[in-house]
Structure 1
Amino acid sequence: MLRLAGGSINHGGGEGYVEFGSIGEPSSAGRTLGTFAGVFSPVTLSMFSALLFLRIGYLVGNAGLLTILVQFIIAYGILVFTVTSICAMCTNGAVEGGGAYFMISRTLGPEFGGSIGTLFFLANIVSSGLYIVGCVEGLVENFGPSGLLVGEGNSLLPDSPGWRFFYCTLLNILNLLVCLVGATLFAKTSVVIFAVVLICTSSSVISFFVQSPMNVTIPDENHFLHNMTGNGTMEPVYRMYTGLSMDTLVSNLYANYTRDYTNGVMVSFSSVFGVLFSGVTGIMAGANMSGELKDPGRSIPRGTLSAVGFTMLTYFVLSVLTAASCSRELLQNQYIFLMPINIWRPFITIGIITATASASLSNLIGSSRVLQALAKDNIFGKSCQSKVSSEAIGRILKIVSDLTWSSNPLAAVLVAWGLVQVILLIGSLNVIAQINSVLFLLSYVAMNLACLGLDLASAPNFRPSFKYFSWHTALIGVIGCVVMMFVINPIYALCSFILCILLILLLHVFSPAKSAEWGSISQALIFHQVRKYLLMLDSRKDHVKFWRPQMLLMVSNPRSSAQLIYFVNQMKKSGLYVLGHVKAGQDFSEMSSDPTQDEYTHWLSLVDHLEVKAFVELTVARTVREGLHHLVRISGMGAMKPNTIVFGFYDSETPPDFLYASRSLYASPHYRQEGGGDSLFPLRAEGAEGKAVSPLEYVHMMNDVLRMRRNLCVCRHFNTWTHHAFWTNTSLKYIDVWPINFFNPSVEDPFTTTCLFLMQLACVINMKPRFKHFQLRVLLCDDMKHSQLRLEHLLTTLRIDAFVQLVPEWNDRVRAQWSVNVSDDYLASVNTMIRDVSGMTACTFVSLPELPPQPDSFISYLNKLTLLTDELPPAVLVYGINAVTSTAL
C-alpha cells in the first residue's frame, strides 16, 4: 500500500526493495559535487586524455582529414545517442552510486546489470591503464633519450620496456594515493587540471597561426626513417611543418595508411577508429561519480552533453589546423609533433601529463565505485557451487563494500589499482586502445538497450524529464555501437560478447541478487508481448488438431495434494495449468481485507518449491461449490481457459503431509507445522468432520463441471504414489487404460468422446520423459478377435503407441453380474478384475461413468465410485465432453 511517512514514499515492498524517491528535500549526505566540478570537468578530461596531444597526428596522417572528420562524426554520433539514453535513465529516477552499473542493473535486472557492470568495471580499468601508458609515452618523448625538451644526449629518463613499466607503476601509485584520500579531492583538483589542459590546448591552436614553417625532428624510436651510422649513432631526420597552407590541406584530405612506427603494424581504417574512439570514451565519467553528485538527475545530462559538444568542437578545430599546416610525412612519423611547433614547448608536456594523468585517475575512481556497487549488491556471492567458495567470495565482497573511509571505498580502490597494474604489462598504447574501445562500446550497447527496452515496454513509470530521447535514438545507438565494435576488432568484440553471455548465465543461475526487488525490464517486455499475443489468440479459431489439455486442479490443501499437483503438471503437455483454491465459509462483505492477498505469495512460493509450471487462482466464497464456479469461469485469460477440471477423490482418509514428512521428496523446513492454524496451509483433523464440502456437494460440483462443458478428471490414490518410486521400481511396467463405462457396459464402443479423451490423456502422460519407459496398455473387456483388431486400428489411426490386451475374465465371470442397478457385488468383482491385472501398473485411466440425472442418487453414485476404485494403483477417472483427437493432417 502506498503511504506517506515522514515525507517519504513507502511502497511496502518486501526485503530487498529499494525506494530512493522522497517528497522533501533530497538527502545530501556525502554529496558535495556540482555539475561543473563533478561532471563537466571529469568528462572533458577523460575525453581529451591521450588523444588530444599524442594521437591527432596519427589520426590525420593516416586517415586523412575527410576520413577522420567522418570518424569523429560517427564516434560522436554514437556517443550522443548513448548520452541521450544516459540522460533519459538518470532523469527517470534517483541515481545512486555505481553510475552505469546502477542504472543498467536497476533496469535490465541483476543478470544483465551484473555482467555489463563487470565489463564496464574492466573497461574503466583498461582505460586507466591506457591513459597511464599515454602519460609515460609523453614523458619519455620529452625527457628520455633524444627528448624534445632536454635535447640530444641530455636524457633525464632512461628508456626501455622495463623502465616504462616502472614509470607507469609510479604514476599508478600516485593515482592510488589520490584515490585513497577521496574523490572530493580529485573533483576539486579536476577544475584546476581542466583549466591547465584548456590553456595548453589554446596554446596549440594559437601556435598554428603564429609559428613560421620549420623542420621537425623525427624521434629515434622511428626505425623506418632513421639509419644507423658507422659509429652506432642515429642520423637526425626531419620532416616539414609548413604553417597554414592550402596546398598542405589538400595533400592531407585523403587517406594514406602506413605502418605504425611504434609497433610496426600496418594501420587501417579500423585501427585508426579504435584509437580515436578510445580517446572519447569518457562520457560516463560523470555518471560514475553519481554517488558524490548533489543532483545527479540534473548534473549528469547537462554536464555530459556540454562536455561532448566542447570536446567535439576542440577535436574538429585541431584536426583541420593540423591537416592545413603539417606535411603527411611529419604526421605519420612524429606523433608528438605539437610540441616542437608550440610557442612554448613545455605547454604540451604539461598538457600531456595533466590530461592523461587526470583521465587515468578519473577511470580508477570510476572503476572503484562500480566495484563497490557490485559488492554491495552481492552479485557474485554464490557464483561457486562449493559452499565454502561461495562463503569466501561473500566475505570478500562484504569487505570490498564495507571497508570505507569518509564514504571512500578503500578496498575497492585497492582492487582496482591492482588490476590496472596488470593492464600496464601490455605496454602498447594502441593495443590497449582497441580493447578499451570494445569494452566501452559494449557498455554503451547495454545502456541503449536498457532504454530501448523501457520505451518499447511502454511502462507508465518510464517518463524521463529529458525530452530528447526516443526509441529511435536508442536503437541507432545499439546498432552503431555493435557495428563499430566489430569494425575496431572482430576478435575482441566476439570475445567480449561471449564473456558477457557467460557472465549472464553465471549470474542467472547462482547470483543471490537475482531475487532483489529492483524490477527487471524483462518482466515489462514479457507483459507487453504476452498481452499482444493473447489478444491475437482467438478461441473461435480453435481446432481439434491443435488441442492441448488446459488443466484447472482444485486443491483443498497443498500439503496433502503435492503428489497430485506434480502428476497433473506432467499431464498438461505444455498447456495451461492452474491451481485453484477456495476459501470457503466466509462472507467477503464482512471482511476488512481480502484474505487471499496474504496467501497468494505463499502459493507462488509453493509452485517454485514443487517445480511445477502453474498459475495460481484463489477466491473467497460462501461454499466451495460457489467458488468452483468462480474459478472455472474466470481462470485463465482470453482463449487460454481451462478445458479440463481435475478433482481429488472424496474420502475420509487422514490427509498426509507431503511438505512435512521426512521421507517425502517435497518436504521443506519452510513448511514445517509449528502447530495451530497459524502455520502455512494447516491440515484438517482426521475423518470427514473438518471437510469444507459434503459428499452431496462434491457430486454436485462434478455435475456442475459437466454442465459448464468442461472435461472432468477425478484422481484417487495419488497419496500412495511417489514419482521417485515410479522411476526406480522395475516391477512397474504399464500405464493402463480401461475404455469402458463399468456402470453401463452395454455401451462398448471405444470411439466415444470419453474413451478417446481417456486414451489421449494416457498418451500425453506416456510422452513425458519420466513416463516414457512405461508401456501404454489398453485393456479390452472382450474376447472377440475382431474387437481387438478394430481397437488396434483405432490406435494406429490416432498415432497412439499402445498395445491391446484382452480381459477374458470380463465375459467369463464379471459381466454376468451386471444389472441396471449396478450392485455392490458387481462393482467388487470389477474392482477385483482390475486389481488382478494391475500388479505391474504404475497408473490407471478409467472411464468415469455418467452421473445420474437426479440429485437423490448422487450419494449412491459416489459410493459406487469408491467401491470401483478401492485399493487400485493411482487412478484417474475421466469424462470427456469435447473432441480431442484428429486423424487429419
Structure 2
Amino acid sequence: MGETKEKNGYSFGMFKGVYTPSVLTIFGVIMYLRFGWVLGNVGLAGTLLIVTMATAITFLTGLSISAMATNMKVGGGGAYYIISRSLGIEAGAAIGLPLFFARAFGIAFYIAGFTEALMALGNPLASLGIGPELASRIISSGTLVLLTALAYFSADLALKVQFAIFAAIGVSLVSFFMGNPTPEALAIPPETLIPPKASFWVVFAVFFPAVTGIEAGLGLSGDLKDPAKSLPLGTLLAIGTGYLVYMVMPIFLAYKVHDSNLLLIDSNIMTTVARWSIPIVVGVFAASLSSALGSLLGAPRTLQALALDRVIPRFIGKGFGKDKADPRIATAISFAVALGAVLLGDLNLIAPILSMFFLLSYGLLNLSAGLEGLIESPSWRPKFNVHYGISLLGAAACFAAMLMIDAGATILAILVTALVFYLVKRRQLNAHWADMRYGILYLLVRFAIHRLNRLKPDERTWRPNILALSGSPKSRWHLVEMAHALTQHSSALTVSSILPVEDWSAEKVQSMERSMRDYLEKREVEAMVKIFPSPDMISGARALVRAYGYGPLIPNTILLGDTEKRDNFDEFAELIRLVYRVKRNLIMLRESEVEPPEDADEIHVWWGGNMDNIGLIITLAYQIQKSPIWKQSKLIIKTIVKTEDERDAACSRLESFIEEQRIPAEAKVLIKDLPSFYDIIRNASHNAGLVFMGMRAPYEDETDDAYAEYYGNLMEATKEMPPLAFVLAAENIEFRKVIGISERV
C-alpha cells in the first residue's frame, strides 16, 4: 500500500486514500457533539434503528460503488465521475454541481462543530472584548483559512496529517468507554431550560451526515493507485467500522446516563462520561478538522472533474504542483463557498441540507448500478458482483428517506437537479465516453414490444403510425409536412427514400440517413429515417410496405404522392393494391395544379358512402387540425344529396354527429346540380387549403389493369383541385368507432 507518484497525479493506496479519510469523516462532529442528543430525543431503540437505517443506506451504496468501481476505471470526481459515465454527462452534472456545494457546505459543517466544541471550553477571545457570536465566526474563518492552505498545496501532506488524527480519535474512544461518571457529574443544573424533543425524521436528518464518510474516499478516486481494488475494500471496511462503534456507543451511553433530559442539553456528554476529558476534547478537535480536511480534498476534485468535462469553465480544473494534480483554483472556489456557509454556523441547520444532497447522490449511484445490472450489457462484468435488485433497493431507500425527512426539501432538491440537467442538456455537450442511456431505452423498448405483441390494436387507442414514401424531404416537402402534421407528439413517423441499387454502399446509406436526419431536425420534424436500396422506386416501395417494422411496431398507414405518368399507372395501382392487401391504410397526397388563394385556411372533408373511409378521414382531419400549421383552420364536413327533400335530413344528421362527437367542424349539404360529383367538389372546394376524399378499395377479383384504369380515371376527374388527400382504410379497425360514428349516421 505504499504510495508512489505517477505522472498524472498521486497513487494512494486503500488505507491512506480510502479507509482513513472515510472512517475519519464517519467519526466526526455528529459522534462527539450530537450522538447524545440523538439518544435523548428518540431513546435507545430509536437510536439503534436510526443508526441501522442510515448505515444500511450507506452499505447498499457501498456495494453499488464496489460493483461499478470494479467494472470501470474510476477517474477523478468520485460520485460525479461514476454517474456521468453511467447515466450521461447531463445526469452527472445535475448531481455533480449540487454535490460539490453539499461537500463545500460540509466543510463549514465540520468547522462549525470544531468551533462549538472549542467555545464550550470558554471564549478564547473574551480578553479582547469580543462576544461569543463574533468569536465563533472569527475562529471558524481562521480555521478554514489554515485548512485550505494545507489542502491547497498538497493532498499528500493533508492525508499524512490524518494518521495522527486517527490515533487521537482512537484514544478518545478508549477514554469514553472506560468512563464511569459520578452522579454529581450527571446532575442537571437547577432552572435549566429543557428543549422539546425532535421528531424521528428530524433526528435522522441531523444524524445521517455521520455515515456519509464514504464520499471522502470516493472523492479521491482519481488519486488512487488501484481504484478497482481500493474503493470496494476501503469503503466497506469504513462502513463496517463505523456501524460497530455507532451501535455500541448508544448502548454504553444509555447504561451510564439515565436522564434523557441531560442528553438533550449537554452537547459534550462524551466529555462528561469519559474517564479523561482531554482525549475527548482532542478527539473532537481532531475529528472535526479531519472531516473538514476530507471535504476540502473532495469538493475541489469534484469541481475539477466537472471542469475537465467542460461542464463548467475549463480553467477551473487546471492542476498545479509537482505532478499538476492539485486543483488549486477549484480549492479557492470551495473555500469561498465554505466561507459563506461558515457564517450560518449552526450544525442543526446545515446537517439536513447535507443529508438531502448526499441522499440524492447515493440514490443515483445505486440507480446507476441497478440499471447496469438490469440491462445486462456484455460490458457489465464487475469483479464485485451485486444483484441489481439490491442496488435498486438502495436507490428506493434513499428517495424514501428524503421524502420522510422533508417532502418540500426533497422536491426542491429534485427541481434544482432537474434545472441543472436541463441547462446542461441545452448546451449539447459532446461527451467522449459512452454511457448506458441507449441500453436503458433499449430495455424499455424491448419490454414494451413484448407487451404490445400480446395485445391487439383497438379503436380507443388507435393513432396513425406513418411510413412516408417521400424520397428526399427537400424535393417533396409537402409529403413530410403532411405526415408530421398527422403524427407530431402522439404517433410514429418514418421518412423513407429509395436509393438506386447501382449507387448503393453502406457508407452512402449512412451518409444519406445522416443528411436527411439533420435536415428534418432543423425543420423540427421528429421522424425516423429509412434509406432502402432497390433497382427502382416502385419495387423498393413494395419491399418497404411488406417488410418495414419490428414486431407490433409496424406502420399502419402508408403516405405517398401521386403519379401523373400514365406509364406508371399499372405499377402504381399494383402498389396501392399491395398496401390494401397487407392491411395498411393509404393516404395519397396530390399537389394542387392551381394557385391556392391566400386565405385558403379551410379543410374540407367529403362524406361518401364508405363508413370506414369516412371514419379514418375525419380522424386524420382532426389530427391535422391540432397541428400548429392548421390550428386556426376551419374544418367543414360536406356531403352531396340528390334532391332538396333529402337535404334537411342529411344536414340534421351531420350536425347531430358533430355535436355528439365534440368535433370542431361545420356541416354543409349540397344538391347534385351537375352531372359529375367531381365537378361539384371542384366548385365547392376551390377555396380550401386541403381536401379529403375517400378512395375505392380494389375488388376481390379485380385485375391490376382494371384498378389501374380506375386510378387513371380518378386522376383525370380530380384535376385542377386544391391539395387533395385520397384516403383508403384497410386496417382491421372499425374506424367509425375511432371517431364514434353510430350506425344510424
TM-score by length of 1: 0.73
- For residues 631-687 of structure 1, the C-alpha deviation after alignment (integer angstroms, 9 at most, x for no partner) is 1122222233223221123369xxxxxxxxxxxxxxxxxxxxxxxxxxxxxxxxxxx
8 Å CA contact 1:584–1:627 kept in 2: the answer is no
Q: Which residue, out of 498, 509, 512, partners 1:582? A: 498
Q: Against the structure 1 CA distance between its residues 619 and 805, is the aligned structure 2 distance closer, same or farther, given a 3 Å change threshold?
A: same
Question: Which of 287, 298, 301 lines up with 2:232 in the alignment?
Answer: 301
Aligned to 1:840: 687
Change (3 A) 1:768 1:785: farther
SS at match of 1:647: strand
Amino acid at match of 2:735: V
Matches within 5 A, 1:234-633: 259=194, 266-326=197-257, 328=259, 331-339=263-271, 345-379=277-311, 397-402=313-318, 404-405=320-321, 406-467=324-385, 469-508=386-425, 510-513=426-429, 516=431, 518-519=433-434, 521=436, 523-538=438-453, 541-544=456-459, 546-572=461-487, 574-586=490-502, 593=506, 595-633=508-546
Deviations 1:62-97 (A, max 9, x none): 444343223222221221112112222222222111
Q: CA deviation at 1:315?
A: 2.7
Contact 2:636 2:667 in 1 (8 A): yes
State the one-letter code of the partner of 2:49: V
Instruction: State the distance in 2 between where 1:735 and 1:624 align.
Output: 31
Give the partner amino acid of 1:512.
Q
The CA distance in 1 between the partners of 2:407 and 2:162, in whole Å, is 36
Unaligned runs of 5+ in 2: 1-5
Matches within 5 A, 1:672-683: none
Amino acid at match of 1:417: F
Aligned residue runs from structure 1 range 675-824, under 5 A: 697-717=571-591, 731-739=599-607, 750-751=609-610, 753-768=612-627, 770-789=629-648, 791-792=650-651, 793=653, 796-797=656-657, 799=661, 802-806=665-669, 811-812=673-674, 814=676
1:127 aligns with 2:106: yes
List runs of 5+ in structure 1 lacking aligned partners.
Answer: 1-26, 148-153, 219-223, 228-236, 238-257, 380-393, 653-687, 740-748, 816-829
Q: Which amino acid aligns with 1:536?
A: R
Separation in 2, partners of 1:172, 1:30: 25
SS at the partner of 1:618?
strand
Tell me, in whole angstroms, the C-alpha distance in 2 between the residues paired with 1:446 and 1:125.
20
Give the structure with the larger helix fraction.
2
Mapped to 2, the partners of 1:598 and 1:402 lie a distance apart of 39
Contact 2:591 2:723 (C-alpha < 8 Å) held by counterparts: yes
Moved more, 519-528 or 161-170: 519-528
Q: Give yes or no for the alignment of 1:877 onto 2:694.
A: no
Q: Which of 59, 82, 97 matches 1:118?
A: 97
Aligned partner of 2:169: which letter? V
Which AA in structure 1 matches 2:189? Answer: L
Provide the aligned C-alpha RMSD in A. Answer: 3.7
- The 2-side partners of 1:524 and 1:301 are apart by 25
CA distance in 2, matches of 1:307, 1:401: 29
Whether the 8 Å CA contact 2:612–2:736 is kept in 1: the answer is: no
Mapped partners of 1:859, 1:29: distance in 2: 74
Partners of 2:341 and 2:453 lie apart in 1 by 59
Give the TM-score taking structure 2 as reference length: 0.86
Closer, same or farther: CA 188–626 of 1 in aligned 2, 3 Å: farther
Q: Helix, strand or coil for the counterpart of 1:552?
A: strand
1:867 deviates by 4.4
Q: Are the counterparts in 1 of residues 256 and 273 from structure 2 also a CA contact under 8 Å?
A: no
- Between the two proteins, the alignment pairs up a number of residues equal to 724
Contact in 1 for aligned 2:87/2:437 (Cα 8 Å): yes
Q: Which has the larger radius of gyration?
A: 1
Residue type matched to 1:844 in 2? V
1:877 counterpart SS class: strand
Distance, in Å, in 1 between the alignment partners of 2:51 and 2:592 is: 70
Contact 1:142 1:349 in 2 (8 A): no
For residues 259-286 of structure 1, what are the alpha-carbon distances to aligned partners after superposition, in whole Å with 9 as ceiling and x for unaligned?
4xxxx56444344333322222212211
Distance 1:701 1:499 in 2: 54
Give SS of 1:732's match: coil
The CA deviation at 1:594 is 6.0
- What do the CA deviations read for 1:238-260 (whole angstroms, capped 9, x no partner)? xxxxxxxxxxxxxxxxxxxx84x
The answer for the alignment partner of 1:180 in structure 2 is 152
Distance 1:796 1:90, change over 3 A: farther
Match of 1:195 in 2: 167
2:463/2:491 contact within 8 Å kept:
yes
**What is residue 3 of structure 2 aligned with on the other side?**
none
Cα distance, 1:795 vs structure 2? 7.3
* 1:512-544: CA deviation from partner (whole Å, max 9, x where unpaired): 33x646555554344323322322324873445
Structure 2 letter corresponding to 1:577: L
1:59-98 mapped onto 2 (5 Å cutoff): 59-98=38-77
Q: Which amino acid aligns with 1:484?
A: A
Between stretches 131-140 and 754-763, larger displacement belongs to 754-763
Other structure's SS at 2:475 match: helix
8 Å contact from structure 1 (residues 566, 610) kept in 2 = no
User: 2: distance between equivalents of 1:362 and 1:502?
Assistant: 28
Structure 2 counterpart of 1:301, one-letter code: P
CA distance in 2, matches of 1:758, 1:332: 75
- Residue of structure 2 aligned with 1:48, choices 27, 33, 40: 27
- Kindly provide the amino acid, as one letter, of the partner of residue 401 in structure 1: G
Measured against aligned partners, the alpha-carbon deviations of 1:355-395 in whole angstroms (never above 9, x if no partner) come to 1111111112211122222233344xxxxxxxxxxxxxx6x
Q: How has the CA–CA distance of structure 1 residues 524 and 791 changed in structure 2, closer, same or farther, with 3 Å as cutoff?
A: farther
Residue 9 of structure 2 is aligned to residue 37 of structure 1 = no
Instruction: Determine the C-alpha separation between the residues in 1 that align with 2:160 and 2:249.
Output: 28
| Superimposed CA distance per residue, residues 722-775 of structure 1 (whole angstroms, 9 cap, x where no aligned partner) | 9xx9xxx6x234212345xxxxxxxxx623654554444334423546434333
Relative to structure 1, is the Cα distance of residues 157 and 286 closer, same or farther in structure 2, using a 3 angstrom cutoff? farther
Tell me which residue corresponds to 2:37.
Answer: 58
CA contact (8 A) 2:736 2:742 kept: no
SS at match of 1:642: coil
Q: Which residue of 1 aligns with 2:139?
A: 167
CA distance in 2, matches of 1:144, 1:89: 48
1:558 aligned counterpart, secondary structure: coil
Q: Render the CA deviation track for 1:326-351: whole Å, top value 9, x for unaligned.
A: 45365444332444665654323322
Distance 1:285 1:877, change over 3 A: same
Structure 1: how far apart are the matches of 2:16 and 2:185? 38
- Partner of 2:28, secondary structure, is helix
What amino acid does structure 2 have at the position aligned with 1:43? Answer: S
CA distance in 2, matches of 1:455, 1:275: 33
Measure, in 1, the Cα distance between the counterparts of 2:461 and 2:402. Answer: 45
For the residue of structure 2 that corresponds to 1:408, the secondary structure is coil
CA distance in 2: counterparts of 1:778 and 1:334, whole angstroms: 82
